[in-house]
Amino acid sequence: MKKAFSCLLILFVTFIFLANAGNVKAHETGFDHAEATPPASVDYTLAYPGILPDNPLYFLKAARDRVVGFLISDTEKRAEFNLLTADKRINASFMLVKKGKYELAVTTLSKSNNYMEEALVEITALAKTKENVNPMIGNFKNAVSKHRDLLIGIKSKVGQKYLSQVEKEEKRLIKFEKTATKLSEK
C-alpha cells in the first residue's frame, strides 16, 4: 500500500511539473518592454524561474534548491549555482510584480540578493586561491547590471508601501557591484 501511494505521489508531482513546463518560453527574461523602461543592453540572459513562489508546490522547488546547493562541494560550481538561483529569483520577482503580488515579489527579490551575496562570497574565496577569476567576475557584474535593470521595472510598479524595501535591495546590488569591481582590480 505504501509503495502504491508513493508511486501515485511521484506521478502527481511529475504531472504538476510537466503541466507547468508548457509555459516555458525561449530566452525568457521576464522583462515586459511595453510596461516599463527597457533595460540597458547587457549581454546577459536570465534563466526562466519555472514555478513561482505563489504556486502551492513551490516549497518542493525551494527544498530541491537547498539540497542541491548543499551538495555542491566545488567553490566555482557553487558560485555558478548561486548566481543561477539569484537569476531565477529576480525573474520570479518581476513576474510576481506583474501579477500584482507585491509583498511576495519584494520577499523574492530579497532572496535573490541573498543568493547574489553567496555567489560573491564564493567568487571572493576563489580569487584568493585561483589565478584568473576575471571571467567569473565579469559574468557576475553582468548579472548585477541585468538585475538592476529588472529592479527599475519592479520599482516602478510596487508603489509607495514597498518602495523603501526595493530601494534597500537596490543598494545591496550596488554594493555587490563595487565589491566585484574591487576584486577584478586585484
* Domain boundaries defined on the chain: 28-185
Q: Residue 30: left (phi > 0), alpha (psi -120 to 50), or beta?
A: left
6 band by pLDDT with thresholds 50, 70 and 90: low
Task: Give residue-wise pLDDT tens across range 170-181.
Answer: 999 999 999 998
State how far the alpha carbon of 122 is from the alpha carbons of 38, 64, 81, 132, in Å: 31, 20, 10, 14
pLDDT at res. 185: 80
Place of cell 546590488: 173
What is the spatial distance between Cα 116 and Cα 172, in angstroms, rounded to a whole number?
10
CB neighbours (10 Å) of residue 141? 18
Q: Which of the two residues, 37 and 84, has the higher pLDDT score? A: 84
**Nearest residue to 45 (alpha-carbon basis) of 71, 68, 26, 67:** 26
Q: Are 142 and 82 in contact (CB under 8 A)?
A: no
pLDDT at res. 10: 59
State how far the alpha carbon of 73 is from the alpha carbons of 88, 122, 135, in Å: 21, 11, 21
Task: Give residue-wise pLDDT tens across range 58-91.
Answer: 999 999 999 999 999 999 999 999 999 999 999 9
What is the spatial distance between Cα 83 and Cα 64, in angstroms, rounded to a whole number?
16
Task: Give residue-wise pLDDT tens across range 109-151.
Answer: 999 999 999 999 999 999 888 778 889 999 999 999 999 999 9
Compute the residue count for the chain. 186
Place of cell 554594493: 175
What is the spatial distance between Cα 115 and Cα 161, in angstroms, rounded to a whole number?
24
Contacts of 148 (CB under 8 A, 6+ apart): 170, 173, 174, 177
User: For the chain, what is the mean pLDDT?
Assistant: 82
Grid cell of 36 as nine digits: 516599463
